[in-house]
Amino acid sequence: MKRFDCGTLVPGCTWHTSAEDEAEVIRRSVEHLRTSHGEGIIRENMVENIKERIKDEEKA
């Protein structure tokens, strides 16, 4: 299980998501950035920043 905590990218945000595969975690995270943080354009470097912060849930 993979997990992303938005607060590791956007200080103060308590949102997180978990999924079996990294692609689903990224999809959910991008949607969260759009709806909750007003990010209209998600650049490749933002996706890379998300990928760098995804952890195995057992280790999180």
Q: Report the C-alpha gap between 28 and 18 in whole angstroms.
A: 9
Is residue 54 within 8 Å of 10, Cβ to Cβ?
no
Question: Looking at residue 58, what is its pLDDT?
Answer: 74
pTM of the model: 0.90
32 pLDDT band, cuts 50/70/90, is very high
Q: What percent of the chain shows pLDDT beyond 70?
A: 97
Question: Looking at residue 37, what is its pLDDT?
Answer: 96
59 pLDDT band, cuts 50/70/90, is low
Contacts of 18 (CB under 8 A, 6+ apart): 1, 2, 3, 4, 25, 57
φ/ψ of 12, rounded to 5, equals 95, -15
The three-point CA angle 51-57-60 to 5° equals: 85
60 pLDDT band, cuts 50/70/90, is very low
